[in-house]
């Protein structure tokens, strides 16, 4: 992923995505599957709205007191025997992790799925330092082999079909071609088992961090999260600061909402609650645990008008229902996080100058708001960013001048009436000059404006 270009090529990417028929087919299949699964999973939940209210209130409280919860988490995790590091930005996090690993001579690294590690572009940095970094989540394993980035925060290889994965495995792993997902999964299991058992260190993310106890919570299905946190002698976890929950008593609400929203499961196969490294008398846990708390702009977001995006628990439900995401897939967004939550976070984390084209990647239909389990006001936040885009003069100059002119005309009844008459009179000319494009998209103005017909 490129971090240098001046602005994300969202429109160009979209045009390309629209012509990519395997991608369109994969996204259509995904959209249909996700919708049904999610609805089925929530159907038996008695008081879903109350559950969402509770989860939303917990996240509000976390944001209102974030520095306090982060400090409390750091103190609790330290007491439990972990070493807690704070990283101000992406490069800070990369340096800390590279140093922890290289100081201990770690060469072979197995990774659990972590979007925050994607955000800081950790892998390439560790590889440049001479380490072998192996993604172990099946979807991440596939895209790492292909040299791609995730196109979905939960299902990273959602843009690929089984034949593409089959060919990739046959090419790279030298196994006979198969397109059976179960067989492909077995192939990955065998290849990765060896990596787990010989790894010097595991690097993971975390879905939640519990302030009272200093626990990390990992919600997974495959078991790679369990492997990474229990098999290698050294475990490094990277997470962004807003992932705090006050106490373990708050966790059940999120364990009920996150898997249902993400994959339509009542609960995931595995939920690991890791509190510190292995202690005397323990037979489980890494001997050493390092936790890197990443800020990377969160403190600034917290102080601004878009702070509610930090309530997000990364379930991906908003992208699964988004008509834009469902059409173009995740890569078109051009950075780590796609979909409604992604375009907001990307704009805030990378700046309006770079990300302003993304602010238009929404129809504001509100489907995302309807499914968000923690009630992030996604549509309002996108609207707010659009206002900022105009205010900071990143909108298209023609559009801006047009809107300013319309504003002046609409502000004066006499000018507005004149405009209406002119529009009616000159419409045939506009149509003739503008061609099919204008005529096809715009309705013809009425010959007699409504204002004149209604007394």
Chain contacts with another protein (rule: CB under 8 A): 26, 29-30, 33-34, 80, 136-139, 142, 155-158, 160-162, 165, 181-182, 184-186, 188-189, 192-193, 196-197, 212-213, 215, 221-224, 226-227, 229-231, 247-249, 251-252, 255-256, 263, 266-279, 281-285
CB 1, min distance to another protein, A: 20
Q: In what order do the strands lie in the sheet with 132-135?
A: 83-87, 288-294, 234-240, 201-204, 108-111, 132-135
What CA–CA distances, in Å, run from 63 to 169, 215, 239, 241, 299? 43, 19, 16, 10, 10
CB 165, min distance to another protein, A: 5
**In the block, which residue shows the tokens 């602005």?**
7
Alpha carbon distance 299, 18 (integer Å): 37
Q: Are 376 and 370 in contact (CB under 8 A)?
A: no
Q: Are 232 and 110 in contact (CB under 8 A)?
A: yes
Q: Which is nearer to another protein, 34 or 69 (CB)?
A: 34
The strand pair at 201-204 and 108-111 is best described as parallel
Cα dihedral sign, 406-408-414-415: negative
CB 337, min distance to another protein, A: 18
CB 141, min distance to another protein, A: 9
Q: Which is nearer to another protein, 1 or 25 (CB)?
A: 25
Q: Which is nearer to another protein, 133 or 188 (CB)?
A: 188
CB 315, min distance to another protein, A: 15
Compute φ and ψ for 133, nearest 5 degrees. Answer: -115, 120
Q: Are 325 and 390 in contact (CB under 8 A)?
A: no
- Full DSSP string of 46-63: TTHHHHHHHHHHHHHHHH
Alpha carbon distance 79, 276 (integer Å): 8
CB 13, min distance to another protein, A: 23
Q: Which is nearer to another protein, 315 or 344 (CB)?
A: 315
Cα–Cα nearest to 347, from 392, 311, 315: 392
Q: Which is nearer to another protein, 189 or 408 (CB)?
A: 189
CB 227, min distance to another protein, A: 5
Alpha carbon distance 389, 358 (integer Å): 10
Task: Based on DSSP, count helices (H) and strands (E) in the chain, helices before strands.
Answer: 22, 10
CB 66, min distance to another protein, A: 21
């Amino acid at each position: 992923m490129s971090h240098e270009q001046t602005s994300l090529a969202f429109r160009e990417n979209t045009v390309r995505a629209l012509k990519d028929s395997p991608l369109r087919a994969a996204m259509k299949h995904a959209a249909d599957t996700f919708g049904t699964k999610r609805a089925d999973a929530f159907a038996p939940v008695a008081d879903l709205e109350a559950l969402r209210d509770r989860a939303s209130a917990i996240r509000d409280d976390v944001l209102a007191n974030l520095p306090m919860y982060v400090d409390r988490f750091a103190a609790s995790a330290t007491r439990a025997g972990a070493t807690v590091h704070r990283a101000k930005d992406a490069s800070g996090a990369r340096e800390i992790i590279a140093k922890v690993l290289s100081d201990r001579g770690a060469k072979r690294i197995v990774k659990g799925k972590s979007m925050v590690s994607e955000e800081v572009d950790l892998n390439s940095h560790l590889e440049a330092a001479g380490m072998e970094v192996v993604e172990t989540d099946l979807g991440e394993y596939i895209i790492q082999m292909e040299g791609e980035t995730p196109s979905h925060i939960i299902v990273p290889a959602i843009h690929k079909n089984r034949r593409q994965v089959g060919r990739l495995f046959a090419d790279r792993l030298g196994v006979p071609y198969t397109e059976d997902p179960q067989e492909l999964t077995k192939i990955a299991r065998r290849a990765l088992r060896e990596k787990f058992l010989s790894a010097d260190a595991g690097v993971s993310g975390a879905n939640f961090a519990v302030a009272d106890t200093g626990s990390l919570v990992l919600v997974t299905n495959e078991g790679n999260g369990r492997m990474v946190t229990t098999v290698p002698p050294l475990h490094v976890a990277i997470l962004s600061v807003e992932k705090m929950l006050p106490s373990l008593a708050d966790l059940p609400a999120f364990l009920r909402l996150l898997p249902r929203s993400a994959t339509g499961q009542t609960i995931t196969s595995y939920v690991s609650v890791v509190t510190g490294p292995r202690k005397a008398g323990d037979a489980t846990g890494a001997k050493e645990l390092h936790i890197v708390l990443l800020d990377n702009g969160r403190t600034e977001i917290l102080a601004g008008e878009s702070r509610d995006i930090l309530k997000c628990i990364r379930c991906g439900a908003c992208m699964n229902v988004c008509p834009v995401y469902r059409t173009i897939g995740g890569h078109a967004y051009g950075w780590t996080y796609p979909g409604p939550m992604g375009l907001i976070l990307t704009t805030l984390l990378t700046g309006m100058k770079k990300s302003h084209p993304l602010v238009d990647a929404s129809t504001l239909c509100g489907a995302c708001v309807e499914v968000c389990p923690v009630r992030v006001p996604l549509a309002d936040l996108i609207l707010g960013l659009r206002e900022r885009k105009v205010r900071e003069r990143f909108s298209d100059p023609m559009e801006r001048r047009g809107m300013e002119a319309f504003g002046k005309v609409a502000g004066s009844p006499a000018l507005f009436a004149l405009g209406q008459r002119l529009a009616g009179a000159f419409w045939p000319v506009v149509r003739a000059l503008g061609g099919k494009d204008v005529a096809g998209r715009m309705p013809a103005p009425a010959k007699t404006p409504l204002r004149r017909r209604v007394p």
